[in-house]
Structure 1
């Protein structure tokens, strides 16, 4: 019987013949790297229990672009497989699953962006751009209040609508937000259409939807496959990344729920903001704001300190830009709440609105997309795993 090393060598040597895509399929360089690595991993299978990527991998003998895109967005970049792999650099096979998957993920965001002409914004959506856009929009609003003589008027403090009427804010933010949702939806729909045939083509079932929802809400695959967590800058396991992700995700959702509930109060019950304790919008917003602030601060710290081998360094500006926007939204919102009754309310309101508008503008072309694409992949995985394994069914 051949040794594992011999099997791996055979897999590498035959990749160009047995596992290469058909002449009509064109892999990019990043897709070729994932194809190469998955071929090696498929012969080893040491990491099969780590996350959803590896069980999904074992259902395939070939990795065409749709398969590669699907697997790349299943990867949560926890780094467990990199630290466990005997073929990781400096081994000659140079197997680095998290890094290869991260590069393809960025490619999918650009490829499926809508409209296509704006896909390149992913490459420019960095930390500097996010902060500059926030400050630029905030400065525009500050100048508008200054020209109107209401920027630092203590008599108007306490009510945001004294500075910006409700209908004006709706007219400014609603079109941008709706475009962002539509553009992101179009992009994910294109991704879904491509990976569906590659993942059995079976329709969504209730059990699959429930499992995928549970995996998304729990961030199941950020536990390293064993419940101990991810690796950051060293070999030590830690759950900090998962916990900060939870704080960020649920903090954002609580803030969104507070805004949505405030809209319902305004239009259905004629209850006009601002709201005070113990109103539900205020409770949701304050808890969500604190959670979002802590979560983004933690994620930013971990992102800066993380081992470069565990991801794509070219995406770090985009990652930090998104984290910075969420941090600015949470901190400016909390500061605005605390200083609402002071003359500083106008400046803080402009800063907060500038950060929110910057988030809406960059929403379809920034890191926010990764959560939507990953959720789509998790749903397809939950569907696919319930179908007969084509490899076993074929007798291989």
Structure 2
């Protein structure tokens, strides 16, 4: 039984529990996605059970459009919305430090403010620290200065996420993981399997009458674009420290090939993601978090786009300003990762790991 010491809003938990109990009695949507096999495996739902179901849900909305008990029926079911609200509130409840999460999950303006602060810090660093000599971007800001700024900005969010996920794992009754659990969860995440829905035809996210894999493909573009950009940075770091090969690197080098392809995927994926969200029905998700989600997707896409612009402007008079803009966006992204929609990737993976344990009877 999951740990009931759960700080998610009890009113949200109660409403989601009411709807889950009706769904469990009906079972019409039993094969729709990962939520329903997990839901149907329970007779009663504690707070941890509801939190786990909420983080398994990918908000594909197929269950809503198939349901006979939505409004104006007296049951007034809207399970995608109920789970979306619990999901966002769980991220806020488990986040550390918590006050930041309560602000950034729901307010796009706060994300913009953080971006401005990030830009200001990088501009200040360029002016105050400058460079002791170097080529390319290092002629503007030294490598050591970049390391001093971005290593803490990368590590601190990882610590924050580790604390948050530990709280989530305890809440949902997570056990010791096996290799099989990890393999199953990562395979499902890599394929975005749940966005194909149980029937494999895709989801109804942007149009109730049309099944589509568009959202799945867009998520693939964003996820793999981000991973390619991260791989490019990692490759450049290893080449710098292990092979004594500092930047700048030519186009047909590993950092550039990974970075350019990742930047294109990330930029186009985020644009498409915003388009899909604008076409979708807000009332089937967490309305309160809509602005924050759009703001974060815009930040993530801008991070990829500014990196491409910086590459194209290398060696021109625009390079110093574009460097500050790009580094400011990256700095803002890192610092906001535990407190914005980016956290959902980590929580969903944790939910898939817990679901893998459920499937083997734990």
**TM-score normalised by structure 2 residue count:** 0.93
**What whole-Å deviation, never above 9, does each CA across 1:110-160 have from its counterpart, x for those lacking one?**
111112343423445x3333233223432443466568899xxxxx99610
Change (3 A) 1:239 1:357: same
Deviation at 1:176, TM superposition (A): 1.7
Change (3 A) 1:331 1:209: same
**What whole-Å deviation, never above 9, does each CA across 1:181-208 have from its counterpart, x for those lacking one?**
00011100111122126xxx4x322222
Match of 1:163 among 137, 140, 148: 140
Residue 223 (structure 1) aligns with: 196
Match of 2:271 among 284, 297, 318: 297
2:182–2:353 Cα contact (<8 Å) kept? yes
Residue 74 (structure 1) aligns with: 56
Residue 159 (structure 2) aligns with: 182
Match of 1:309 among 283, 288, 291: 283
Pair member with larger Rg = 1
Residue 114 (structure 1) aligns with: 96
2:137–2:248 Cα contact (<8 Å) kept? yes
**What whole-Å deviation, never above 9, does each CA across 1:314-352 have from its counterpart, x for those lacking one?**
111121122011111111000000011100001100110
CA distance in 2 between partners of 1:271 and 1:33 (Å): 57
SS in 2 for 1:196: coil
Residue 83 (structure 1) aligns with: 65
**TM-score normalised by structure 1 residue count:** 0.85
1:127–1:324 Cα contact (<8 Å) kept? no
2:129–2:141 Cα contact (<8 Å) kept? no
2:206–2:281 Cα contact (<8 Å) kept? yes
Q: Please say if 1:349 is aligned against 2:330.
A: no
1:254–1:285 Cα contact (<8 Å) kept? yes
CA distance in 1 between partners of 2:130 and 2:259 (Å): 30
Q: Please say if 1:173 is aligned against 2:150.
A: yes
Q: Please say if 1:209 is aligned against 2:178.
A: no
Match of 1:237 among 186, 211, 233: 211
Match of 1:362 among 336, 350, 354: 336
Q: Please say if 1:271 is aligned against 2:245.
A: yes
1:79–1:224 Cα contact (<8 Å) kept? no
Match of 1:104 among 86, 97, 103: 86
Between 138-147 and 279-288, the greater mean CA deviation after superposition: 138-147
2:135–2:247 Cα contact (<8 Å) kept? no
What are the ranges of 5 or more consecutive residues in structure 2 without an aligned counterpart?
none
Residue 153 (structure 1) aligns with: none
CA distance in 2 between partners of 1:168 and 1:85 (Å): 56
**What whole-Å deviation, never above 9, does each CA across 1:288-320 have from its counterpart, x for those lacking one?**
000001100000111122112320111111211
What are the ranges of 5 or more consecutive residues in structure 1 without an aligned counterpart?
1-21, 151-155, 389-396
Residue 74 (structure 2) aligns with: 92
Q: Please say if 1:283 is aligned against 2:257.
A: yes
SS in 2 for 1:120: helix
CA distance in 2 between partners of 1:25 and 1:62 (Å): 19
CA distance in 1 between partners of 2:83 and 2:128 (Å): 50
CA distance in 2 between partners of 1:147 and 1:175 (Å): 19
CA distance in 1 between partners of 2:197 and 2:130 (Å): 56
Change (3 A) 1:44 1:320: same
Deviation at 1:276, TM superposition (A): 1.2
